Structure 1
């Protein structure tokens, strides 16, 4: 799913899976690396509403956040040299720091970590400059909790009731009069057209 490329070196696709949402690349001779490009290979996209944070474990300095990837931003170039503090700045890989540290070649190998997360959780982690550079991310792709099915059903029924009530005066519809199927069929046609064009947001507006 991921690849990384260091200038002057072969493309790396030898990613090591840690768990379902975390993976790493080892970067030998890290002191000679100025920039690194990380990207999606294009064979597997992120699930809807998800992206990935990219982190670097510099020997002795812990994992630190570099930036992010998403379906709208499938590649990014990061500057490595002179960009790290003396302490860890991310918690995404804290649980695996000890095991990762044992894999390092003393003083020469860094670890590039990739953590798959919800976009809604990723964006607040990014510095303002990085966030502005990622403005192409579609905010509608950020995962939102599914609507309450009971509330949604109530709004659909209310929409149907309001639609039919609008014909009451002209069609002499009363509480004991059967509703013509043609009227319900017309409502269904209008309702479906609205859902296809604008989703279910109009139901929320109608309920206000």
Structure 2
């Protein structure tokens, strides 16, 4: 009834879920080439007559053990949708979808800098629930209002961190060791780039220069941590 295509991967057809009152169809996208995931196109198959008074709400999750999160819908008037997957260091310009979705699918903590999947995440699972259109649109509107008030997030990776119960740097390093190493390397390099301007003839740096770097670093991190992506480690 449905099909999906992730950038650089083959088309995947939906599988009907028997005896289900919630998600009637699922699609599993195996991430054999994670770096190629920039957009996912989801659509109703051409030979399917979709009931005009119903909608297929679209959910995503990154592993079988996680809970689905709602991201958009399909209907007779809207037979297709494009969802943007955000991957670090990838050129993901363009709209996340056609304006009816709930944001981009954030895989920032799921792909290592070497282009290999981290934490054994190797697929994206799409769930589709067919329900009365008014009910589906009301559900989407409610989540949009929650997001606007800061009560919920459209990022799958935020939900994953919450479920993992990460409350300390040690737990973060244990669950995401590769990304933690990359983060540490970028912070050290950022400090090195700043402090080299304060070297004396003996190669020493005043402690005041380090304090100044740390204060500036914290302030910039609070405003926008994305600046770390620009720090090269060579």
Identify which of structures 1 and 2 has the higher relative contact order when contacts are C-alpha pairs closer than 8 Å and 6+ apart. Answer: 1
Please report the TM-score for the alignment, with normalisation by the length of structure 2: 0.42
Please report the TM-score for the alignment, with normalisation by the length of structure 1: 0.46
Greater radius of gyration (CA): 1
